Amino acid sequence: MLLTSCSNSSKIIHYQYKGVVITRVNGYPKDYFYYGKFDNTKNLPKDYILSKFSGFDGLMSAFLVFKKDKTVEIIPVADDFTKIGDNASLKLNSEIENIDFIHWRDSTSNNLDSIVEVSDDLKLEIARNKDGRSKVKATYDRSL
């Protein structure tokens, strides 16, 4: 895991797998997910996926699934996710049925490979992805 820092109040996190990068701007209690690598919050694309949660008694949890066709799918677990814009490379799968999600999650247990679990609790996120042996490279702020 590489550690970097950013100079603004939002934390920028990069998730990379086989040349594809998702940039997450973590601005608690909102997170913005962008397709591509962006090192600051200036001139970000108008296409993104927004995650909002109440902060105090809520949580954010989702999976980023890096596909062979270079697209990335976000599967929300907890929180309010909204797709803004029409970037076909960044997909939101909020229609998965609960039973289908359970089967999918069980099939990926301890073998995340091209999948990374994201969370509002970044220390928990790091631990879960290490335990699940995710091959997605995540670059976090130095303060973690």
User: Which percentage of the chain shows pLDDT scores above 70?
Assistant: 88
pLDDT value of position 51? 94
pTM for this structure? Answer: 0.85
- Rounded Cα gap, residues 128 and 62, in angstroms: 12
**Residue span of the structural domain in which 94 resides:** 3-141
Q: Give yes or no for residue 8 having a pLDDT over 80.
A: no
Average confidence score pLDDT of the chain = 85
pLDDT value of position 100? 79
Reported as a pLDDT band with limits 50, 70 and 90, residue 56 is low
- Rounded Cα gap, residues 93 and 77, in angstroms: 10
Per-residue b/e over 9-31, b at no fewer than 16 CB within 10 Å? ebbbbbbbbeebbbbbbbeebbb
CB 76 within 8 A of CB 36: no
**Structural domain count of the chain:** 1
